[in-house]
Copies of this chain bind each other. A is one copy, B any other.
């Protein structure tokens, strides 16, 4: 989502309309023409904020992904020790993804299709998660919890080692998998112990 789209109330109304259309009719309906019709305004009005169907869809995907990131942000500024927050961050991320995928599977499928078309928005989302984890790793190094020389690189490792629990492809296959949260905790336990000095 561009900054202007985030701030402008008209653009936000257009994104709301696009989301409502996707929810009701599937991803094919997220077009400038459909959004204009739904809001009873001219196409030109929508094009002023979203210069193409692709731009509109990318903004919709970015906002959808942002809804996962937002509840994670307070974990960065929390006063509890970094190792604990690292675990809480990934646990919460997995829970939010699980909730999105399993809570409304059809809406998830529609957004997933859109996201496949807009890999840039997905890449930006993953970069945000990586940056957050790097921040916590850096805070832990500063506090003497561990000595992580390359927080960005280590953030990649932590996301990869837990992808079974937050990658949409796997979360979808996990609907009846009730021991998944316990397995994630065990993996996080091993990884955080692995980060700590001997």
Residues of A within 8 A of B (CB): 153-154, 156-157, 160-164, 169-170, 183, 186-187, 189-195
Q: Smallest distance from the beta carbon of A87 to chain B beta carbons, Å? A: 13
- Copies of this chain, how many? 2
Contact B183 A189 (CB under 8 A): no
Q: Which of B163, B164, B170, B195 contacts A190 (CB 8 A)?
A: B195
Known: A157-B183, A190-B194, A191-B194. 19 other contacts (CB 8 A): A153-B186, A154-B186, A156-B183, A157-B187, A160-B164, A161-B161, A161-B162, A161-B164, A161-B190, A161-B191, A163-B163, A163-B164, A169-B169, A189-B194, A190-B190, A190-B191, A190-B195, A192-B194, A193-B193
Q: Smallest distance from the beta carbon of A181 to chain B beta carbons, Å? A: 13
Please, which residue of chain B has its CB at the minimum distance from the CB of A195? Answer: B190
